[in-house]
């Protein structure tokens, strides 16, 4: 069997057209490169490099070994990467950013992931969407989630993985108890209860208010969705929240979908750096796809970089 190290030295020597350049590239002495190439020739029993001047001349055997040997070395590198990635599924670590507003969507995902991959270290970081966008862009997180619209100036790849309607929630005194939807122009005539401005839903709403030249009456804002519900329950105004939270409402509250010609959707957006995605991170996305449905870019991320 060929000595792989000697083969590497030989290929590098031919690629760089010289022993000196190969030695510099490999970080060894020129004599070491020369000895390794000579040992490869001894092993094969034939001259590979004809040493009578520059540029280097290859024998017939040398040409075949260079062409095929380059492919062999590339395949070995890929094999090593694949082995490390398989090991990562038993020894890996994955850092996920999830805003507190949407963490309840991932309870079953976490359960599924822990059952499938009990030895992977799973670190969940809870920050508002804009902070997670920054952390994914700077490679502090493997993947993250935010709510559209995402900051277009950041070096990020992003994909919407779930869409939910936005609802108006209030007591019957502020919101008639019927099954009709309500328009945004009607909603802004009432005192509004919104999440803080660093939440994606509020960014979306303010964008739509400006787009439709509406002047909202904002009574209060909070970083806690359940406090908005409590304020709505106290009759202080109309809370605007996405559909997943409607199943948790007290029975005395009314909720209506906000219906517009241009749909008003709370869009959960997956973020990644657009380059490498580890096997552990892919395993997390597989669990997301299983539990939440939809397409989670599993086939579209190129791991060859």
Contact 16, 22 (CB under 8 A): yes
Tell me if 278 is assigned to some domain: yes
Tell me if 192 is assigned to some domain: yes
**Average of per-residue pLDDT across 118-136:** 90
**Average of per-residue pLDDT across 227-250:** 92
CATH of the domain at 219: 3.40.190.290
Tell me if 304 is assigned to some domain: no
For helices 30-44 and 4-16, what crossing angle results, to 10°? 120
Domain count of the fold of the chain: 3
Tell me if 12 is assigned to some domain: yes
Q: Which residues contact 105 (CB under 8 A, 6 or more apart)?
A: 162, 244, 268, 292
* Last-in-domain residue among 56, 90, 124: 90
Q: Are residues 137 and 220 in the same domain?
A: no
Tell me if 201 is assigned to some domain: yes
pLDDT in tens, 194-214: 999 888 889 889 999 999 999
Structural domain including 237 reads: 163-266
Q: What is the pTM of this model?
A: 0.62
pLDDT in tens, 54-108: 678 888 998 999 889 888 888 888 887 767 666 656 677 889 999 888 888 899 9
Tell me if 259 is assigned to some domain: yes
How confident is residue 297, by pLDDT bands cut at 50, 70 and 90?
low
CA 83-108-163 angle, 5° bins:
100
CA 123-137-286 angle, 5° bins:
50
With a pLDDT cut of 90, the percent of the chain lying above it is 38
Q: Are residues 183 and 235 in the same domain?
A: yes
Tell me if 195 is assigned to some domain: yes
């Amino acid at each position: 069997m060929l000595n792989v190290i000697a083969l590497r030295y030989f290929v590098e020597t031919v690629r760089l057209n010289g022993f000196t350049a190969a030695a510099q590239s490999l970080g060894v002495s020129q004599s070491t490169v020369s000895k390794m190439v000579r040992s490869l020739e001894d092993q094969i029993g034939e001259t590979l490099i004809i040493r009578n001047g520059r540029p280097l001349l290859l024998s017939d055997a040398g040409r075949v070994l260079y062409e095929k040997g380059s492919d062999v070395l590339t395949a070995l590198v890929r094999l090593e990467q694949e082995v490390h990635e398989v090991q990562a599924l038993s020894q890996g670590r994955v850092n996920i950013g999830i805003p507190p507003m949407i963490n309840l969507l991932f309870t079953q995902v976490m359960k599924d992931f822990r059952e499938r991959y009990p030895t992977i270290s799973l670190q969940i970081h809870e920050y508002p969407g804009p902070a997670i966008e920054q952390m994914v862009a700077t490679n502090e997180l493997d993947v993250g989630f935010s709510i559209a619209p995402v900051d277009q100036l950041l070096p990020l790849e992003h994909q919407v993985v779930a869409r939910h309607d936005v609802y108006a929630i209030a007591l019957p005194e502020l919101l008639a108890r019927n099954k009709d939807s309500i328009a945004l122009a009607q909603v802004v005539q009432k005192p509004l209860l919104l999440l803080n401005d660093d939440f994606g839903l509020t960014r979306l709403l303010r964008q739509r208010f400006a787009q439709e030249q509406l002047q909202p009456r904002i009574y209060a804002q909070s970083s806690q969705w359940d406090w908005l519900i409590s304020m709505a329950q106290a009759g202080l105004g109309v809370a605007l929240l996405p559909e997943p939270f409607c199943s948790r409402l007290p029975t005395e509250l009314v909720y209506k979908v906000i219906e517009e010609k241009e749909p008003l959707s709370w869009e959960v957006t997956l973020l990644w750096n657009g380059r490498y995605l580890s096997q552990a991170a892919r395993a997390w996305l597989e669990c997301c796809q299983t539990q939440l449905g939809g397409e989670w870019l599993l086939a579209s991320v190129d791991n060859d970089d």
